[in-house]
Amino acid sequence: MPETGSPFDLDDDRAYRAWRDAKLAAYPRRVDDLVVEVRDPWHLSAAEREALVDRCRRANMAIYASARGHDEDREVLRVLGGQLGLHRLDHNLNADEDAITPLRVADDGPRSTYIPYTSRAIDWHTDGYYNRLDQQVHGMMLHCVYAARDGGANALLDHEVAYIWLRDESPDYVRALIRPDVMTIPANADAGGEIRPERTGPVFMVGPDGRLHMRYTRRKRNILWKADAQVGAAVEWLAKALAGDSPCIFRARLQPGWGLVCNNVLHTRTAFTDDSDPRRRRLLYRGRYYDRVAGT
Ligand SMILES: [Fe+2]
């Protein structure tokens, strides 16, 4: 028998307690604790890299602050991610050919029908929950080139903390949310036919590496929860918990030259108002990866 079991094994409370207590003790206290100043994102120093990885180890996320400002060279995302072990980009629906997605309000075209390309608020979710189960998004980066004139802030919550909340409240909630048929996302179709088939899977998955992964959206449209009392109770409890205020939830407004590096934690976006100059509309580059941040 191994000395320590998986903290995510519902039958191993001892392993869970040890992991939970260590996790919460090391969890950053405020958003400033996530921020790492980076002199040159193209060439991280060993100390900068270690500081980013350290935040990701403790909270599955870090914010880098660089002086790149409005530099629109999107390669920065790929180069910075590569230095952190993020290599395998997910070619998601609205990404450009290089798999990097510029998030900016789209007035028309296919992107304009998706919330990320509007100025509306986005509710709690992890990225790519509708992907195939073998192509889940484990790492995610956002790089800010232009901030909105007002709004456009992100709330961030380590998905491992969400797991802790649920398990501490009731292990039955976790039991409901690890069911492989708990969450179904209907097929995505447009006039031209099916873009993505229906997907069914769990909320919480433990990978072959023993790490916890979460597929989640709090939106009520385009999501079918398993019709089951326990599932209903768990989903409702989590939705309420996320609506509350907790010191574990960080709120940040990325500034030009700043970015988020994370192991696909839970996040939101507030609504925003763009600059009146269309060239200075809020612009974020996003990369979704099949990798986690290396060393986390
Ligand atoms: Fe997202």
pLDDT in tens, 124-151: 999 999 999 999 999 999 999 999 999 9
> Ligand 1: distance of its center to the CA of 35 in Å?
19
Distance from Cα 37 to the centre of ligand 1, integer Å: 23
Which residue pairs, CB below 8 angstroms and at least 24 apart, start in 272-279? Answer: 272/119, 272/148, 272/149, 272/150, 272/151, 272/152, 273/119, 273/148, 273/149, 273/150, 273/151, 274/105, 274/119, 274/148, 274/149, 275/146, 275/148, 275/149, 276/149
Q: Which residue's structure tokens are 């088939």?
A: 197
Mean confidence (pLDDT) of the chain: 95
In 44-170, where does DSSP find H-type helix?
46-59, 75-83, 159-169
Tokens of 33: 């604790």
pLDDT at 236: 98
Ligand 1 geometric centre to CA of 165 (Å) = 21
Cβ contacts of 292 within 8 Å, gap of 6 or more = 85, 138, 139, 209, 211, 263
CA of 74 to the centre of ligand 1 (A): 18
Q: Which residues of the chain have pLDDT under 70?
A: 1-3
88-122 pLDDT, tens digit per residue, is 999 877 777 788 999 999 888 878 888 888 999 99
Q: How many Å lie between the centroid of ligand 1 and the Cα of residue 81? A: 17
Distance 275 CA to ligand 1 centre (A): 22
pLDDT given at position 3: 58
Residue in 275, 228, 283, 247 with CA at minimum distance from that of residue 103: 283
d(CA 103, CA 114): 11
